[in-house]
């Protein structure tokens, strides 16, 4: 198997040269190998040193420092067909370290191989660990980590010197240096980025073990690890401490997490007299956050999002929902369901009665909490958008409802994100920390919209928003003269863990009963975006294939009754979509050629690729970045030909490479980028001075000494 060495850097100019020099020596006997340096927006000379010392290395320069896990995931994506050796830039490999690690990785059942680590003084580092649990945390609180580690039941740290002299397995090991096989990586997925700097490799190695891949320790493979300042930095210590509780919560549930929280708090309370790091850990444990607050960000307000959809009856994969669900791990969030752009009327709208009824059902729910720190409200709107006076009356009514709920949730000066233009009249006078216009579409192009009124509202938002975020480069470029430096491209993410291919026995019965090959589509079958003439042509010209359509339709579907190979399954819950999509032989995006599509960037594309599906799409601007993975067609005839080619020859890339290409694009990463844009003025000043908002303590060379 080819080997890729992934080195994650951030302000690593002082250490990266020695690391890369040692890597070059260790790879001399490994012919099919390469080096990938993932740089998390260093503000020093890191990349210049890399270019000088390792000119053949592939450099992945990230626009921001989203943490160790995000860097590793970017390295994984750059090496989809390889075993990957992950290194801190403060590691120096011995000449034969890589060869010994590869030999250990070849042993049956092994997914991850780790070396023997020593400090610069030659003293061995205790790098092996047992899985964390409340009993071991209690043992460490009462006895101390080293003494508790003598007992397997009472300590997480492996301290027996004999264990470090002989090869064996461990639950996990510190993440300064570890080699993972491609097979284990494909089974385990990507690192969880929400832990941020501590516990990412812990959780990942434990997850690999759960999937049957052991962590194997090879003492003949040696490396020097300079190590970090976790033991002295209050911020780092507190983050490592609180993440221990978070990981138990994610793996074992709330009851185990509460027990873990109690004993970890006890541990820190007993050691408060020893210094500031324990005092900060106690404070952060008492001021519990579901996920850690990024260092340097400081206390931030919550978020109120005026969505373009309704949480209770639309597909929850929409970008504003996904961003806010991830944001809820950092801040309290209130999502205001769509207040609409036009009253559905016969002749201009489809399924009028059903749409009005489901809106009334949504309003009846008023405020609910689907998940921790994530609230959804459905205000009662009056759909008056053409008359300025009646629009103001409606805005006062909706604003009063939103203010009442926001105050009850403690959202006194929130960041307000607006996706639907009709929210402008509501938010214009509201107190806010920042206003973000989520320019996901040009809503004035929506066929049912009162174009003049909606366009005027869009212009107000473009003029008054503190930040305008785009998913379409084409739309951003058009509006750049009006937005200037306030414009930011924020590409769509993908729920990678959710959109994972399911085995055939997990496919729903209705799709499994449809004969193959299956040409599939999931999502809203809206008549203003989907080209139904193209779908009918596919059905007519490929009678041997089944056309499977999954989603609510605003177009009369009776037109397909004459085609026995067309199977419209209707709406299916978001939770089941990956299982349905896994049954497709090829996935399609049959879009119309209109202004709406020209300025769009469908989330569906990354979801298809995350499932490893071959994709055929009509052409649109944002597809230009995917031509190595997606077959694009400009005409109906080209589209049908591309389907024939795909059914006969398969995808442009293997399924695992299609998935790997979108794995770094998690919604968590997108939410963190959005969060960075809205930090307070002092943080924004520091970002202009440095590529990230993190404090100087968070240098890559001194943060990866374990959790």
Give one DSSP letter per residue of 230-243, joined into a string: TTT-HHHHHHHHHH
Q: What is the pLDDT of residues 223-271, one digit of tens each?
A: 999 875 455 567 778 888 899 999 998 889 889 999 999 999 999 999 8
Token pair, residue 557, equals 């579907």
Would you put residue 366 in left (φ > 0), alpha (ψ -120 to 50) or beta?
left
Residue 703, pLDDT score: 35
Cα–Cα dist 131/143, whole Å: 18
pLDDT at 643 over 90: yes
Token pair 């059905």 is found at: 539
Burial letters 450-476, b for 16+ CB under 10 A, else e: beebbbebbeebbeebebbbbbbbebb
Residue 600, pLDDT score: 81
Helix axes 134-143, 254-270, angle to 10 degrees: 10
Q: In sequence order, which residues have a C-beta less than 8 Å from that of residue 349 and are 6 or more positions away? A: 342, 355, 448
Average pLDDT over residues 601-624: 92
Class of domain 505-662 (CATH, top level)? alpha beta
50 vs 339 pLDDT, higher one: 50
Cα–Cα dist 108/128, whole Å: 20
DSSP label of 391: H
Cα–Cα dist 560/568, whole Å: 9
Query: How many Cβ atoms are within 10 Å of 434's Cβ, its own excluded?
Result: 19
Token pair, residue 324, equals 């806010």
Residue 694, pLDDT score: 30
303-489 and 505-662: same fold? Answer: yes
Q: In sequence order, which residues have a C-beta less than 8 Å from that of residue 481 and are 6 or more positions away? A: none
Distance of CA 655 to the CA centre of its chain: 20
Residue 697, pLDDT score: 30
Contact 307, 325 (CB under 8 A): no
| Mean of all residue pLDDT scores within the chain | 85
CATH 1.10.420.10 corresponds to the domain 3-131+171-228: no
Going 38 to 22 to 99 to 702, the CA torsion angle's sign is negative
- For the chain, what percent of residues have pLDDT higher than 90? 50
Cα–Cα dist 637/368, whole Å: 48
Beta-sheet pairing, 110-118 with 177-180:
antiparallel
Beta-sheet pairing, 615-618 with 586-589:
parallel
Query: How many Cβ atoms are within 10 Å of 130's Cβ, its own excluded?
Result: 17
Residue 520 is inside which H or E element, if any?
strand 518-522
Q: What is the pLDDT of residues 284-323, one digit of tens each?
A: 899 888 777 665 444 568 899 998 888 877 656 688 888 9
Average pLDDT over residues 365-372: 86
For 690, half-sphere exposure in the C-beta direction (CA atoms, 13 angstrom radius) is 17
CATH 3.40.50.2300 corresponds to the domain 303-489: no
Average pLDDT over residues 172-187: 92
Q: In sequence order, which residues have a C-beta less than 8 Å from that of residue 381 and are 6 or more positions away? A: 339, 340, 394, 397, 398
Q: What is the pLDDT of residues 79-121, one digit of tens each?
A: 888 999 999 999 999 999 999 999 999 999 999 999 999 998 8
Secondary structure class of 604 (helix, strand, coil): helix
Angle, alpha carbons 541-546-549 (nearest 5°): 105
Would you list the domain boundaries of the chain?
3-131+171-228, 234-286, 303-489, 505-662
Q: In sequence order, which residues have a C-beta less than 8 Å from that of residue 520 and are 6 or more positions away? A: 547, 548, 549, 550, 580, 581, 583, 584, 585, 586, 587, 588
């Amino acid at each position: 198997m080819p080997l890729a060495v992934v080195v994650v850097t951030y302000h690593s100019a002082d250490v990266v040269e020695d690391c890369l020099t040692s890597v070059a020596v260790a790879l001399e006997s490994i012919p099919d190998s390469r080096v990938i340096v993932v740089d998390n927006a260093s503000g020093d000379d890191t990349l210049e040193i890399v270019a000088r010392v390792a000119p053949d290395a592939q450099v992945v320069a990230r626009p921001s420092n989203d943490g160790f896990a995000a860097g590793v995931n970017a390295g994984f994506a750059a090496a989809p067909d390889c075993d990957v050796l992950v290194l801190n830039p403060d590691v120096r490999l011995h000449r034969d370290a890589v060869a010994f690690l590869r030999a250990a990785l070849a042993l049956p059942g092994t997914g991850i191989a780790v070396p023997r680590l020593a400090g610069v003084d030659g003293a061995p580092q205790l790098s092996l660990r047992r899985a964390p649990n409340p009993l071991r945390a209690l043992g460490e609180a009462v006895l101390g980590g080293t003494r508790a580690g003598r007992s397997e039941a009472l300590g997480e740290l492996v301290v027996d010197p004999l264990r470090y002299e002989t090869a064996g397995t461990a639950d996990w090991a510190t993440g300064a240096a570890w080699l993972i096989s491609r097979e284990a990586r494909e089974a385990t997925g990507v690192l969880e980025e929400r832990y941020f700097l501590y516990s990412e490799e812990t959780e990942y190695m434990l997850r690999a073990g759960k999937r049957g891949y052991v962590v194997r320790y090879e003492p003949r493979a040696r490396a020097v690890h300079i190590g970090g300042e976790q033991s002295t930095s209050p911020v780092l210590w507190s983050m490592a401490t609180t993440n221990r509780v978070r990981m138990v919560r994610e793996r074992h549930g709330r009851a185990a997490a509460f027990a873990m929280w109690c004993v970890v708090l006890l541990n820190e309370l007993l050691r408060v007299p020893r210094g500031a790091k324990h005092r900060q850990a106690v404070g952060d444990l008492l001021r519990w956050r579901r996920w850690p607050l990024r260092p340097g960000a400081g206390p931030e307000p919550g978020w109120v999002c005026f969505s373009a959809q309704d949480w209770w009856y639309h597909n929850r994969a929409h970008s504003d929902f996904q961003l806010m669900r991830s944001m809820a791990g950092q801040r309290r969030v209130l999502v205001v369901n769509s207040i609409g752009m036009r009253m559905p009327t016969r002749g201009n709208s489809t399924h009028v009665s059903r749409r009005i009824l489901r809106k009334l059902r949504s309003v009846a729910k008023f405020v609910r909490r689907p998940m921790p720190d994530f609230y959804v409200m459905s205000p009662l709107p009056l759909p008056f958008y053409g008359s300025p006076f009646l629009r103001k009356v409606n805005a006062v009514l909706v604003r009063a409802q939103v203010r009442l709920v926001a105050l009850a949730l403690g959202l006194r000066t929130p960041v307000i994100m607006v996706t639907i233009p009709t929210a402008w009249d509501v938010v214009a006078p509201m107190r806010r920390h920042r206003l973000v216009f989520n320019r996901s579409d040009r809503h004035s192009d929506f066929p049912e919209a009162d174009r003049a009124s909606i366009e005027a509202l869009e212009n107000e938002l473009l003029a008054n928003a503190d930040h305008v975020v785009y998913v379409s480069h084409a739309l951003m470029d058009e509006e750049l003269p009006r937005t200037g430096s306030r414009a930011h491209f924020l590409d769509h993410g993908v729920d990678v863990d959710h959109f994972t291919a399911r085995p055939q026995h997990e496919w729903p019965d209705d799709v499994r009963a449809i004969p193959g090959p299956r040409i599939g589509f999931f999502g809203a079958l809206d008549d203003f975006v989907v080209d139904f003439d193209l779908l009918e042509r596919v059905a007519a010209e490929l009678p041997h294939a089944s056309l499977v359509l999954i989603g609510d339709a605003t177009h009369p579907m009776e037109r397909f009754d004459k085609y026995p190979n067309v199977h419209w399954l209707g709406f299916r819950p978001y939770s089941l979509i990956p299982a349905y999509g896994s049954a497709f032989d090829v996935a399609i995006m049959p879009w119309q050629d209109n202004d709406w599509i020209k300025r769009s960037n469908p989330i569906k594309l990354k979801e298809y690729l995350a499932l490893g599906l071959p994709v055929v799409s009509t052409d649109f601007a944002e597809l230009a970045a995917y031509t190595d993975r997606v077959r694009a067609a400009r005409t109906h005839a080209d589209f049908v030909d591309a389907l024939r080619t795909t059914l006969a020859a398969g995808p442009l890339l293997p399924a695992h490479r299609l998935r790997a290409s979108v794995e770094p694009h998690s919604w968590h990463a997108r939410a963190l980028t959005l969060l960075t844009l809205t930090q307070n003025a002092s943080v924004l000043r520091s970002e202009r001075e440095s590529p990230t908002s993190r404090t100087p303590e968070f240098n890559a060379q001194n943060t990866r000494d374990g959790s």
